[in-house]
Structure 1
Amino acid sequence: SFISKYKRKEDEDISKSFIQKHEQKIRYFGMLGRWDDSQRFLSDHPYLVCEETAKYLILWCFHLETEQKRALMGQIAHQALVMQFIIEMARSCNVDPRGCFRLFFQKAKVREEGYLEAFKTELEAFKSRVRICSQSQGFEAVSVENSSVYTGIIKLSILHFLQNANDLQGCINRSVCNLNSMLQKYEEAKMMDTV
C-alpha cells in the first residue's frame, strides 16, 4: 500500500542518514577484537547500538566476502553478531538495546555456560551463510553505501539465522531473567535514593 511504501522510504532515509553520519565509528567498532574494547566503545557511543549498525556490518561482510577478504570478513562478522545478539536480547526483554549491551559483554567475558558456545556456533553459521550467499548465482557484489540493494537479503539472512538459533534463544531467555532482575534491583536502588 501507499502508506507502507512511504514508511519504508522514510525508514531508508533515516537509516541512510544515520550511516552517513556515523560510518567511521561503525567501521571502527567493526575492527575491534576484544570484548572490553567493544564494550568501552559502545559505552562511549551508545547510539551505535541499533539495527542500522548491525545492517551496515552485515553488508560489509558480504562486500568483503565478494572481495575474498575472508579474515577481515570474519572479524566484521564477529562484531555484526555481537550487535545482533544485543539487539535480540533487548527485543526479548522488551527494552532498549542501549540498556542491555553491558549484560551481553558481561556474559561473554565470564564465559557463561552455553552462552559463548552459542555465540561461536552462530558466528560460524553466519560466516558460512555469507560465503554461500556470496557464491550463489544471481548474487551481485554491492557497495556498502548502497543500502537499499541489500535490505531484503540482509533481513532474510538475519531472520534465517535467528530463527534457527535454538541455543541462542535459550541463552537470550536466561538473559531476560537476569536483565529483568538487574533492572528491578536498579529501580529499587533509585527509589531508595529518592526517599
Structure 2
Amino acid sequence: MTTATLRATCDDHTRYVAGCRPCQQRTANRGRTRRRAAAYGHIITGHADTTPAREHIAALHDQHRMSYRHIAYAAGVRRDAVRLIANGSQPLAYPETVRRILAVSPAPSIDEIAVRRVLAGHAPITRLSDAERAELWRLWRRQHTSPVGEATFARQFGVTKSDAGRIRYAADRAATNPSHAATGRTNRKAA
C-alpha cells in the first residue's frame, strides 16, 4: 500500500482538521504505514528525484539566461522551490513539481526577438543595445558561409564601418566571457 492511496483526512474534509477523530485516525494510520515501509526498506514517499529538474534549471539559467523567477512563473511553482532545487538543497520534490519544471521550454527573450527583427530587416539597428548588437553580429556571421566582414555588415544594416568594427569587437569580447554580454561588466578593476 502506498501513501498516495492513503488519505490523511477523513471523507468529510479536504484538509486535516484538528479535533476530528476520523482525521486523526487516518493520519495515524498513514504515519504507521510509512514507518513500517521505511523499516522494511520500502520507503514510500510521494517524492521524486530532482536531478533532472536541477539539470534543466541549470540549462535554462545558463544557456537561455532565464531567471529563477521566470522559470518558476512559467512552471507555476514557487520561486523558492526552483532556487532550492537548483542549489541542490532539495534532493526530493513532489513529482508534479518536477514535471512542471521539466515542461518549461526556453522562451525567446525580448532581446532575442528584437535582434531577429533587425536581422530580418523589419527594424533599424539603432533600437538595439550594445549587447544586442553583438548578438546580431554573431547571428549574422552564422548565416553566411563565405567570409564576410565589417564592410558588408555596415552596408546591410546602415551603420558606419567603424561602428561595425566596434560591434564585432563587442561580439568577440562577449564570446570569450559570456557573462559580460548580459551585464556589460568588464575585467578591468576600478581605479
**How high is the TM-score relative to the length of structure 1?**
0.25
**How high is the TM-score relative to the length of structure 2?**
0.26
Higher relative helix content: 1
Q: Considering Cα pairs closer than 8 Å and 6+ residues apart, tell me whether 1 or 2 has the greater RCO.
A: 1
Structure showing greater radius of gyration is 2
